[in-house]
Amino acid sequence: MRSVDVLNDFPFTFSQEATLMVHEKKETRCSFLSKRGVHQVGMWLYECCCGSSVTSSDCFRSNDGWHLPRILCPCNEPVAPIPKQLSSWKDYYEWRCIPLHSPVALLLHWPLMIYQATQVAGLTQVAGLGSSTSEIRDKLCIHYLGPEKELLQLAVFAELHALFPGVHVHIELVGPAIPQHRDGERIDLRNYAHCLETDCICKSASENLSGDDFSPHLVIAPNAGIAAYSSWLPTIELIKETNVPALFSDYCEEACHLGACCISTLTGHPLTFPIQLNPFRQPMVVEDSALFLPCYSNCFLFGM
């Protein structure tokens, strides 16, 4: 098991406030967000208990702003090409020229988890890093299982434009939280999530809706809880049959070990991708966790 110090190791100026102080109930998610002027607004709405009554059908794709000045958020194209590999939040913030007091990592862990999953699965060539397979170099299709709050934060996934330059990234969202009337719909995020400033070029964002079908290069299931839900069993069987690499994340290492046991029992094989700490886990601890060790969204990765 990882030590508390390792789990809480983030480069941000707010790290202690968002980890130890929240875990010890000296701070709350609400108070943290309020101090930064993003409590209950835009994509931040679902980052505390105040947004628990909001459903995906209420806000599907509509909350598309950072509610932060441009210097604190990635609302435009990066000024420099992406490094060969990003290995930490510090790397990412330096590349995107974002100061370490910006809280955007609290939302960016979703697209950065996708980036890290492709690294773990050996799909780094999809970013144009020397692949000889044009299909993978030009297009990446991901089946994204079990989205919930992500449905209220879809605009943050536009950062995939920067993380996979020149690649058409298609994400198929699959799960019970998808409203039935939105089934089969496609949302094309052409521009980055907006900043607060009215004169910024990010205000030219637009969306197109259409329907397409793509075969996946990768299956991703954030915060999966495989051992906690029997409904995962047929899904794992299907993934095994399709022979597509699948990466799962969970809030703590123990949940990953339990999930790994379920996968190994069903497939008859050990994990293809062993349990590992995700450097792009959300840098704010889960409130009111029943475990002694702090838990984080997308904290650990493992896969088959």
Q: Render each residue's pLDDT in the chain as its tens digit; 304 residues.
A: 567 788 999 999 999 999 999 988 899 999 999 999 999 998 998 898 887 666 555 555 545 789 999 999 999 999 999 998 899 999 999 999 999 999 999 999 999 999 999 999 998 644 444 443 334 578 899 999 999 989 889 999 999 999 999 898 999 999 988 888 888 877 878 789 999 998 888 766 444 444 455 789 999 999 999 999 988 999 999 999 998 999 999 999 999 999 999 999 999 999 999 999 999 999 999 987 777 778 999 999 999 9
**Cα–Cα nearest to 134, from 111, 168, 157, 160:** 168
Tokens coding 253:
């290492």
The tokens for 113 are: 């988890």
* CB atoms closer than 10 angstroms to residue 291: 12
Q: Give the count of beta carbons closer than 10 Å to the beta carbon of residue 97.
A: 11
pLDDT value, residue 207:
44
DSSP H stretches of helix in 139-287: 160-163, 232-242, 253-267
pLDDT at 208: 43
Choose among 100, 99, 104, 93: nearest CA to 42.
104
Distances (CA, A) of 191 to 85, 180, 194, 200, 230: 23, 26, 8, 12, 38
At residue 212, the pLDDT reads 57
Question: What is the rounded CA–CA span in Å between residue 29 and residue 285?
Answer: 9
Q: 33, 31, 40, 18: which is closest to 152 by C-alpha?
A: 40
